[in-house]
C-alpha cells in the first residue's frame, strides 16, 4: 500500500516532486526495482604526502568548518572519527542538499554513506595510498535507485552530476594539499 501511495503522490505532484527530488529534499526509498550502479573508480595523483591530503579532506569535518566552505558544508554532529554532515552542491542553477555520514580511518580512507538525497542509496570512499611522488587518491562507490528502468534513468542523471561534483572537490583538495606541501619544504 505504501508503494502505491508513493507512486500516486509522485504522479500527482509531478513537477513539484521532481524539484524536491532533485534538490535532495525528498528521498524515495521503497526498495522496489532497486538498481545499483558503480561510481568510479577514479584516481588522482597528488604531489603531497598522505597525511596532508587526509587533513585537507578531514579537517573541515572534524574541526571547525572554514568560513569559505560554509556554503558547501554544514556539520550537524561531530564525533572523533565520524560526522553527520549536509553537503550543498550547485547543479543546474539549483542547490542540491545531501546529508551523509562521513567516517574517517586515518590516514588511509574516508567513507561516505548517504542518509538523505536525490537517490535512496550512495556509498563512496576516498582511498589514500602513498606513492613515490606523493599520494594517489582513489574515489570508488555505488549509487542505487528504485523503480527499475525509470530509476536507472534517474540514477544516470544523478551519477553524472555526482561525478562532476566529486571531480571538482578533488581538484580543490589536490590544489590545497599541493600548496601546503610546497610551503612545508
Average pLDDT over residues 68-84: 95
pLDDT, position 113:
98
User: What is the residue extent of each domain of the chain?
Assistant: 2-184
CA distance 104 to 111: 7
**Rounded Cα distance, 162 and 100, in Å:** 14
| 102, 112 Cβ separation under 8 angstroms | yes
Cell of 100: 551523509
Residue 34 has pLDDT above 70, yes or no: yes
pLDDT of amino acid 184: 83
Residue 115 confidence (pLDDT) above 60: yes
Inform me whether the pLDDT recorded for 179 exceeds 80: yes
Q: What is the pLDDT of residue 150?
A: 92
The whole-number average pLDDT for the span 10-15 is 63
Is residue 52 predicted with pLDDT exceeding 70? yes
The per-residue pLDDT of the chain, averaged, comes to: 91
Q: Reply yes or no on whether the pLDDT at 143 is more than 70.
A: yes
Q: Buried (b) or exposed (e) across 30-64, using 16+ Cβ within 10 A?
A: eeeeebeeebbeeebebebbbebbbbbbbebbbee
Cell numbers for 69: 566552505
Task: Specify the pLDDT at position 16.
Answer: 72
pTM of this structure: 0.89
Query: What is residue 28's predicted lDDT score, i.e. its pLDDT?
Result: 80
Instruction: Return the CATH architecture of domain 2-184.
Output: 2-Layer Sandwich (3.30)
* pLDDT confidence of residue 3: 64
pLDDT band at 93 (very low <50, low <70, confident <90, very high): confident
Amino acid at each position: 500500500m505504501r508503494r502505491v501511495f508513493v507512486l500516486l503522490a509522485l504522479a500527482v505532484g509531478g513537477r513539484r516532486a521532481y524539484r524536491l527530488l532533485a534538490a535532495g529534499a525528498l528521498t524515495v526509498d521503497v526498495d522496489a526495482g532497486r538498481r545499483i550502479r558503480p561510481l568510479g573508480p577514479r584516481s588522482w595523483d597528488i604531489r603531497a604526502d598522505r597525511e596532508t591530503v587526509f587533513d585537507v579532506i578531514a579537517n573541515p569535518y572534524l574541526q571547525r568548518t572554514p568560513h569559505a566552505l560554509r556554503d558547501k558544508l554544514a556539520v550537524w554532529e561531530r564525533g572523533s572519527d565520524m560526522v553527520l554532515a549536509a553537503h550543498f552542491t550547485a547543479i543546474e542553477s539549483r542547490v542540491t542538499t545531501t546529508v551523509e555520514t562521513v567516517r574517517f580511518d586515518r590516514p588511509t580512507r574516508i567513507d561516505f554513506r548517504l542518509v538523505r538525497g536525490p537517490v535512496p542509496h550512495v556509498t563512496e570512499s576516498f582511498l589514500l595510498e602513498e606513492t613515490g611522488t606523493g599520494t594517489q587518491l582513489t574515489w570508488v562507490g555505488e549509487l542505487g535507485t528504485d523503480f527499475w528502468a525509470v530509476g536507472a534513468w534517474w540514477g544516470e542523471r544523478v551519477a553524472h552530476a555526482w561525478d562532476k561534483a566529486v571531480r571538482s572537490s578533488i581538484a580543490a583538495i589536490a590544489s590545497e594539499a599541493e600548496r601546503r606541501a610546497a610551503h612545508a619544504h
